[in-house]
Amino acid sequence: MSITTLKYTFSGHESFQCRYLWLKKGYDFIKNGGSFTKEDAVVELGVGKNMVGSIRYWMKAFDLLDSNDKLTQLGIKLLDDEGYDPYLENIASLWLLHFHLVTKGHASIYSLIFNELRREKIEFTKDSFLGFIKRLSEQTGTAINPNTVETDFGVFQKMYLRSESKDLDESFAGILTEIDLLRHKIVYTEIIENNKKKENKQEFYVIENTERTTLPSAIVLYGILQQSGTDISLNFNSLEQDPNQVGTVFALNRTGLLTKIEEIVSENSNVVFSDQAGIRELQFKNDSKPDPFQILDEYYGH
């Protein structure tokens, strides 16, 4: 099914980007019997009412909380005190969260940007993104509020873009800035307006396919397993280019994906990479595929 046939969800974050301590704070709150809908949530979490709603939203967007406000397997394994990385100190955990943010689709903007917009252009502006959403709305007959989408774009920017300001409090930084997926550049051009020359400033955002040296191959294998269903043989081109597949989600170039696959094969005896007659496939031996969380258990030493 095409990404563009899915239902779109914008807003819900109360204009707050997810911050580093929020997910652990939300996890502990729910584990200890808390409820985001009760009035005491403000006191228990120590944040304002809008932030309570935002924490709940981001936990669902990252697939740490299900639609019934129950902790997911990922949430428990990652954020429990005895979990993989409750305070998100390992960059692998940020890549893991990014993968779920895009593929879960709870927050539509992330799926649309990584799976769809980048197919049209590696570089984009806020206006070109809004134009993309407008076309999507017209094609699907879906009513989308442009002001809401513009707010979403601002939150997306804060989530991924490293701030150049040294004065910014790290606790306010977006949670995914460290994985360095989004770059920013400003281009100045001269335009004529009312017969006068005027300097025009355009801000471009860039998500370039690279080798992603900070992305562990174990997280790539986890992503492959999460998206492959029951398939035992996986086409390389699909892994590289299809929506919600690792090449697309992690913005890997071909060399980078091949390198990750070579590492996966060298570290997993039941995985082979076949390149015959121009057909390249990642294959699992003996019709046996590991559980995705088994890969994470081994990576994090659990």
Q: Do both 44 and 120 map to the same domain? A: no
Which of the listed residues 56, 87, 118 is the one where a domain comes to its end?
87
Residue 8 located in a structural domain:
no
Task: Answer whether 252's CB lies under 8 Å from 244's CB.
Answer: no
Percent of the chain with pLDDT strictly greater than 90 = 66
Question: Which domain does 68 fall in, by range?
Answer: 21-87
CB contact at 8 A, 192 and 198? yes
In a domain, 292, yes or no: yes
Domain contains 2: no
**Confidence category of residue 120, pLDDT binned at 50, 70, 90:** confident
89 vs 190: CA distance, rounded Å: 45
Same domain, yes or no, for 54 and 104? Answer: no
Token duo for residue 43: 């006191």
60 and 144 belong to one structural domain: no
Indicate whether 99 and 180 sit together in one domain: yes
2: pLDDT strictly greater than 50: no
In a domain, 269, yes or no: yes
Q: How many domains, the chain?
A: 3
Does residue 238 lie within any of the structural domains?
A: yes
Task: Give the span between the Cα atoms of 239 and 88, in whole angstroms.
Answer: 27
The identity of residue 2, as a single letter, is: S
Q: Tell me: the pLDDT tens digits for 100-111?
A: 999 999 999 999
At 191, is the pLDDT very low, low, confident or very high (cuts 50, 70, 90)? confident
CA distances from 147 to 9, 10, 130, 192, 204 (A): 14, 10, 10, 28, 20
222 vs 200: which has the higher pLDDT:
222
Listed residues 157, 190, 208: the one ending a domain: 208
Whether 1 shows a pLDDT value over 80: the answer reads: no
Tell me: the pLDDT tens digits for 231-252? 899 999 999 999 999 999 999 9
Considering only residues 139 and 234, tell me which one the structure prediction assigns the higher pLDDT.
Answer: 234
- Tell me, what's the pLDDT at 206? 95
Same domain, 161 and 113: yes
pLDDT at 6: 53
* Spatial distance between the Cα atoms of 140 and 226, rounded to a whole number of angstroms: 28
Does 109 share its domain with 82? no
Tokens at 293, concatenated: 């969380």
> Is 40 part of a structural domain of the chain?
yes
Structure tokens at 122: 């590696």
In a domain, 236, yes or no: yes
Task: Select from 72, 87, 102 the last residue of a domain.
Answer: 87
